[in-house]
Amino acid sequence: MKNALGDHQSLLVLGGSSEIARSTARLMVGRRTRTVHLAGRPSPELDASAAELRALGAEVTVLDFDAADVDSHAAVLGKAFTEGDIDVVLLAFGVLGDQAEDERDPVAAARVAQVNYVGAVSASLVCTQQLRGQGHGALVVLSSVAGERARRSNYIYGSSKAGLDVFAQGLGDSLRGSGVQVLVVRPGFVHTRMTAGLKPAPLATTPDAVAAAVLDGLGRNAHTVWAPGALRFVMSGLRHLPRPVFRRLPI
């Protein structure tokens, strides 16, 4: 439950080694979140994230979680909820893939969809069933501006995020009145390990800036936030651009 100041007391992160997730968790612990569950595949990055949050004063548990293994989600994620109510669930896992390679390898392309969409649908439903039972809490879903309109340079990743984005919007609408908030976050290009070596897009941002947008959206009980906010207007223009014109763009 939130404390008397309205601060969230507990956090479950799906994709605990993600740099956006780590920034968000650090920011929340700095604002008095005291219990953090980090779910992710075992890795040095996940261990480092747990150690960092413990050093900041949080009680941290680590869950072995594989987004692609949907049959395990109920059992793995259910453990976090047996230890007390959770105020915020942050769904931060995802894979970018390699567009050129994935076009040649349909199995690799399907794995992008399996993790980014199928795994996210399963994990979201498992968690929101628990949140609904509590009667309060928020699910934060990291979508992407890439899902706003398919671009030939990353349409496999973009289509998986488009599916996730639409799913999360509908999920949020279905939970209206339940006490559960669903917040869809649409970052643009974020400087992380996943985008290392790629040419930054205009309005590129950082994990810390996305984390600040997440906290701002939660505080306003928003259903959607863009990071940075100006991307809302840029992507609206691109979305409505006639297709013959859109195809001429170098994107």
Quick check: 38 and 46 in contact, CB under 8 A?
Answer: yes
Q: What are the residues whose beta carbons fall under 8 Å from the beta carbon of 39, sequence distance 6 or more?
A: 12, 13, 14, 15, 16, 62, 63, 64, 65, 76, 77, 80
Peptide bond into 228 cis (omega under 30): yes
Which member of 81, 93, 157, 167 is catalytic? 157
Closest CA to 217 of 138, 121, 147, 125: 138
155 noted as active-site residue = no
Quick check: 16 and 50 in contact, CB under 8 A?
Answer: yes
- Residues annotated as catalytic are 157
